[in-house]
Structure 1
Amino acid sequence: MKIWRRLTQAGALPFKGAAYILPYSEEHDEFCRWLVSEAVGMGGEAAFVHVERIETMHDREIIDLFNKQRVRDYQDIEKGLEGLERRIQSIKKGSSIQGNKKLTEQLYKLSKELEAIRRIDFFSSKAGAVIKKRMETLQAELKSMERAYTGIRIPAIVPRRIKDYQGKTWVTRKKPFVDRMASAWLIRKFIDPEASFGFIDEKETAHLGKNMVAFDVMGGEFTHIGDMCTFEVFIKSFNLPDRRIKKIAEIVHELDMKDDKFKTPEAKGIEEILAGIKKTSKSDADALERGMTIFEMLYESKA
């Protein structure tokens, strides 16, 4: 097990179930020599060889195997970046950046993990280049927001009347996920059972029709305020005291804000289900409806 861990950390590729392979370098040659010595020292046996080629495979095929292995390694980094991207998007929509040192810490931690993987990305895979670019974009955005933040006053939540929001078309950003799915469910469940939904680009917010209401979008009538996600803003705006809604709000906040304010053990499982819906849905409308179904089931489970 110890030898296996060392090989994995070094970026060695399991090959045909019988060996591990590494690209040749003086560093890898020395690594293998020490590894053999270590195995012998523990009472085992080990050997390594230098080969010019593998007769049954082209070099390009071997490189592709290494790159596929690195793609799997990058997947955890990708998930972490998606969470940070959602958090930064939340800040852009009006959430306060105060008290979010954890955001910087999480980004730093991911950047260190990315560096470790890139050290064993021997053939500079495309996946690594894409992840690196996303990381650099997030780092630049976070620095920009930290410089821009000057203690802007958080606007108060204006009380709303449910009767004023009947027969509306509710519009939000494309590619709906946690906060938008939950908010759409809340709208149809507690505000307007006949509500219809649409999807817009953020630049269209200023040119909405008379009967349209924008939510969870920059400049929308209902969106993030302070450290509250859109779902929480809806609850306070319409004074919805249902205890089950508040439990769901903690889950939505945890997944959307990523600030560790609430410890909700079921949050991760809900996120995985919603991510599956997002990936397999035929359209944004389909994803929204399916996501709303999940929140309806979650609501009933809290009874």
Structure 2
Amino acid sequence: MNNWLTLILGLPTAHATERMRAWRALKTCGAAVLRDGAYLLPDIPACREALAAIERDILAIHGTAYVLPVVDPDGARFIDLFERSEDYARLRSEIEECRGQLTAQNALASTRQIRKLRKAYEQLSTIDYFPGQPRQQADAALQELETAVSRALSTDEPRSQDLPIPRLDPSDYQGRIWATRQRPWVDRLACAWLIRRFIDPQARILWLEHPRDCPADALGFDFDAATFSHVGNRVSFETLQASFALQAPGLSRIAALVHYLDIGGVQPVEAAGVERVLAGLRETLTHDDQLLAAASALFDGLLAGFAQEEPAHD
């Protein structure tokens, strides 16, 4: 980085609120302090826009503001001013504290704290102009925490097996009873939606207190020894999708979303929002049929949105 921008400003003492707003804006965009009234940022589009907006606001209250280019021949003189290691260390400490306190009983309540931690990470990474290992470590710790919460919300997760997935004909699976564990979370909710939407529209979903209660004539899903469950690296949703060769536009993105929220991996951009909505529904709707109906509306909306965007992902 050879090119930088500096903001030299003078703020009228009579405008305390505007002075505070300017300082807050400089902090939000991660400006480094060179000295009182002199701030530095990398010369990139986002920083140019931020400084231009601050300059306009200062001039509007009759202050003085100059945005000036700075060239550093060595290219590294100012980089240490933007070191974020301590900020990431504090964030990781909060993440680890949340992880240490996580139980199946408080998992749902913990999703609120995790959303705050994710927001804090995103705000910090936005102003981390020279990212390195601390950012990677914080992101990894946060992803592990998010995965741990999803697992805590879905106890007795099935073990994965390495089995072939036979190709099945949906016409052979009409009007059936499909059974899974009660108080469903992401994978089970998505599976039940997938079954009714693409496989068996008249499916009756049976919520089991324990997998051993599954009737002999029911098609079990997402528990050990179920007809459809985790296979290899596939979650139950992906197993159903592969079994019936379902390839509707947008469906692969829902599969990626369910995969991440169930067992982790690459995080889709929609993951945090979808998890937040599902957690809220699970907290407010105590009847599993009502929860499925609400979750199905969410998955319908996601599918429609993803299908519209599909050409951009070809």
- CA deviations on 1:216-244 (whole Å, 9 max, x unpaired) are 11111011111110110011000112241
Would you say how many aligned residue pairs link Structure 1 and Structure 2?
169
Higher helix share: 1
Distance in structure 1 (CA, Å) of the matches to 2:100 and 2:300: 29
Distance in structure 1 (CA, Å) of the matches to 2:211 and 2:273: 33
Compute the displacement of 1:291 (Å).
1.1
- Among 135, 149, 156, the alignment partner of 1:82 is 149
Compute the displacement of 1:263 (Å).
3.1
- CA deviations on 1:233-289 (whole Å, 9 max, x unpaired) are 01100011224110110000010012x2x3301111100100000000031121122
* Structure 1, unaligned runs of 5 or more: 1-72, 97-153
- Among 142, 159, 171, the alignment partner of 1:163 is 171
- CA deviations on 1:169-227 (whole Å, 9 max, x unpaired) are 1111011111111111111111111112111133425x5142x2111111110111111
Which residue in 2 is equivalent to 1:46? none
The aligned runs of 1:244-263 (5 Å cut-off) are 244-258=250-264, 260=265, 262-263=266-267
Distance in structure 1 (CA, Å) of the matches to 2:276 and 2:99: 14
Which residue in 2 is equivalent to 1:217? 223
* Structure 2, unaligned runs of 5 or more: 1-96, 103-109, 111-144, 308-314
Compute the displacement of 1:87 (Å).
8.1
Distance in structure 1 (CA, Å) of the matches to 2:155 and 2:289: 24
- Among 295, 309, 314, the alignment partner of 1:291 is 295
- Among 92, 95, 118, the alignment partner of 2:160 is 95
Distance in structure 1 (CA, Å) of the matches to 2:239 and 2:211: 22
Distance in structure 2 (CA, Å) of the matches to 1:284 and 1:88: 16
Higher strand share: 2
Compute the displacement of 1:88 (Å).
7.8
SS in structure 1 opposite 2:250? helix
The amino acid of 1:252's aligned partner reads V
TM-score by length of 2: 0.50
- Distance verdict in 2 for CA 1:229–1:298, change over 3 Å: same
SS in structure 2 opposite 1:288? helix
| CA contact 1:87–1:257 (8 Å) conserved in 2 | no
The amino acid of 2:215's aligned partner reads L
Compute the displacement of 1:86 (Å).
5.9
Which residue in 2 is equivalent to 1:192? 200
SS in structure 2 opposite 1:155? coil
Identity percentage over the alignment? Answer: 32
Distance in structure 2 (CA, Å) of the matches to 1:76 and 1:272: 21
Between 1 and 2, higher relative CO (CA 8 Å, sep ≥ 6) is seen in: 1
- Distance verdict in 2 for CA 1:203–1:83, change over 3 Å: closer
| CA contact 1:216–1:224 (8 Å) conserved in 2 | yes
